[in-house]
Structure formats: C-alpha cells, structure tokens
Structure 1
C-alpha cells in the first residue's frame, strides 16, 4: 500500500541458490522503501548476504541466532571445456558476493575473501563486530499479568 513504508524481512535460512539470493538482494536494493532484516535462528550463506543487505541501521539479529558466511559451492562435471566454463563462473560469483559483503560490512574484499575460505560461523556479537548486522534485539520485559488474587489483596489494603 505505502511504497515508502519499511518492509520487514525475517531470515532463517541455511542458504541455497546463489541465483535466487542475488535476485532477492537486487530487489531489496531496487525498492524505494527500506528493507529491515532480521536474523532468526540461522542466516547462512545466501541468508547471511540477505541479512547484511538490509537497510543501514535496520539489520537485526536475535540473541540466540547465528550467521555463517563462506564462499559459494560448486558442483562441476562434464567435458574439460565445460568444467573450465563452470569454474570461471563460480570464481566470478565468489567475487560478486565478496563485493556485496564488503559494501555492507565495511570489511575489504580481501578480508572477506580470507574469512570465507571456509565456513565461518558468527554469534550475534561477532556478527555485529564484523558489520553484518547493526543491532542485537533484546526482548522487552513483558508486564506480569495481574491475578484476581493480587487484585483482591490490593483492594484490602
């Protein structure tokens, strides 16, 4: 309805297709409104890219969630020429993902490359220090329900 109202995207994902990740990421960047992102549970691989790609100042993680970054996986097969083509594509994809993470975290592309050589899991504090998210969401204390017994006791005073 309102093209300028924030969209809230909750991510709990082990990752998946790089093509799908980049399609969602590009859409998030294209929209006129801000996209606030929330890591709930696990945001791994492409899920981490989506959380990090949220609007600056509006990237959140829950206290017991985790994030994981790594280089893209590739399954290559076929003729040697096909393997070369697929390998080149995977390398270009890795470079693209490193640029995206660098743009949103403040880390250099070189640092991202080193840090994603293997699976790197980050706690909420580590994710914030790394620049993947802006804030750790701390649950607000809920008001205690007032029982009839408590009401009766208060009325007698």
Structure 2
C-alpha cells in the first residue's frame, strides 16, 4: 500500500508515525488534526483520492480536530469530499471551528458525528486585508463572496434557513455536541 504522506526525517519516531498513518489508511481512516491550510488539504485530498481508487464502495472516515484556517484550502477539500464515490463520514474529536466546522457538516448525512465533549464553532470568514486603499473594495467583494458560499454550504448541510445561518455566523457561535446535533451540523453523538 502506498503512503500519501510527506514527513521530513528528523527524529527516529517518524517511522512510527508513518506506520501508524499507514495503519489508519488501511482502515480507511484519515486524521485531520491541525489548522486548515493548503499543505494539509492537499495531503488529505490525496488520501481521499487514493482510498477512492482502492475501493469506491466502502466509507471513508475523516476525524477532525481543527481550529479552522484557510477558506480556499478548505473549499478544495470540501469539493473533493462532495464528489467522491465513497461516502465520507466526519467525526469531530476536540474542536471543529470555522472551516473545520464546515468540513464536519459536509460529511454524508446520517454519518456525521462528534464525541460528547467536542466543541463546534461557526462564524463568518476572517480577513487580513493587506492591500492599497484603492484595492479595498476588491477585498471586500471577495470576502463577501466567500461569506456567501460558506453560509450557503452550512444552510444546505444543516437544513437551517439561510437567514438563520447569516445571523448565527455574524459572531463566533459555539455549540456543544448536543447543540450541534440539534442545529444539524452532526447527526449523532459518540460516547
């Protein structure tokens, strides 16, 4: 089995880490336990495509513990999840915040879980504007574009109306596992 991971050898325990990740992949489990960025999303997209190629009929389980991060990187992972043949089940352990919460909600309906003590947080995208004053309107339009996309994704997966999503994401909106289930981000709580 090929391993889709890139660890730089700097300590003897890297072989142990690769072996454990390989065992998880053999069980169709992907671990996402860091901020959302291009590097990790590219790695996870590669793992998803590898597992789909290996067996397109059995589910893939994506374990998420992420504070969120890059919207564009997260959307690349989201789009891949939505277009795979095997179902992608999502499981929150710890925290699924911001883009991490969007990815949690993006699992296949009835296959989205969180452990009892997990926390989920949704909000509008954050922005760091580093542009000349003359370009601020471009940045504002781009931010509004991503805000609209993410709100529509959350509305679709949670079945909450868009107005409710827009209201709830105006500020950080934290939910317990029970509240996330009632809201529609997950379907079941793992004890």
User: Same fold per TM (> 0.5)?
Assistant: yes
1:63 aligns with 2:116: yes
Deviation at 1:80, TM superposition (A): 2.5
TM-score (normalised: structure 1) = 0.86
Q: Deviations over 1:3-55 (max 9, x none)?
A: 11101000000000001110000000010110000010000000000000000
Separation in structure 1 between the aligned mates of residue 135 and residue 163 of structure 2, nearest angstrom: 28
The secondary structure found in structure 1 opposite 2:124 is coil
The secondary structure found in structure 2 opposite 1:22 is helix
Deviation at 1:76, TM superposition (A): 1.3
The aligned residue for residue 136 of structure 1 is 189
Max Rg structure: 1
The aligned residue for residue 10 of structure 1 is 63
Q: Structure 1 runs of 4+ off > 3 angstroms?
A: none
The aligned residue for residue 97 of structure 1 is 150
TM-score (normalised: structure 2) = 0.71
Deviates more, 1:115-124 or 1:80-89: 80-89
Superposition pairs for residues 3-152 of structure 1, below 5 Å?
Answer: 3-138=56-191
Deviation at 1:128, TM superposition (A): 0.3
Q: Which of 1 and 2 has higher RCO (CA within 8 Å, sep 6+)?
A: 1
In structure 1, the gaps of 5 or more residues are 139-157
Separation in structure 2 between the aligned mates of residue 58 and residue 77 of structure 1, nearest angstrom: 40
Q: CA RMSD in A?
A: 0.7
Deviation at 1:79, TM superposition (A): 2.2
The secondary structure found in structure 2 opposite 1:43 is strand
In structure 2, the gaps of 5 or more residues are 1-53
